[in-house]
Amino acid sequence: MKNFTVKDLVTQVTISVIYVTLVLAFYFMSFEAIQFRIAEILLVLVFFNKKHTIGLVFGTFIANYIGAFGIVDAFYGAAATLIVCILLFSFKKYWIVSLLIFPALINGLIISLEISIIYQIFNEYWINFLWIFLGEFIVLAVLGIPFKLTIDRLPHVKEIFIA
Instruction: Give the C-alpha separation, 99 to 81, whole Å.
Output: 12
> pTM of the prediction?
0.93
Taken in order 133, 139, 141, 144, the sign of the CA dihedral is negative
Q: Are 116 and 132 in contact (CB under 8 A)?
A: no
* Euclidean distance between CA atoms 158 and 151, whole angstroms: 5
Q: What is the pLDDT of residue 1?
A: 53
User: pLDDT of the chain along its 163 residues, tens only?
Assistant: 568 889 999 999 999 999 999 999 999 999 877 789 999 999 999 999 999 999 999 999 999 999 988 999 999 999 999 999 999 999 999 999 999 999 999 999 999 999 999 999 999 999 999 999 999 999 999 999 999 999 999 988 888 878 6
Q: What is the pLDDT of residue 102?
A: 98
Please report the pLDDT score of residue 31 as a whole number. Answer: 86
Q: Give the domain ranges of the chain.
A: 6-162
- Evaluate whether 52 touches 64 at the Cβ level (below 8 Å): no
- One-letter identity of residue 141: A
Distance between CA atoms of residues 19 and 62, nearest Å: 9
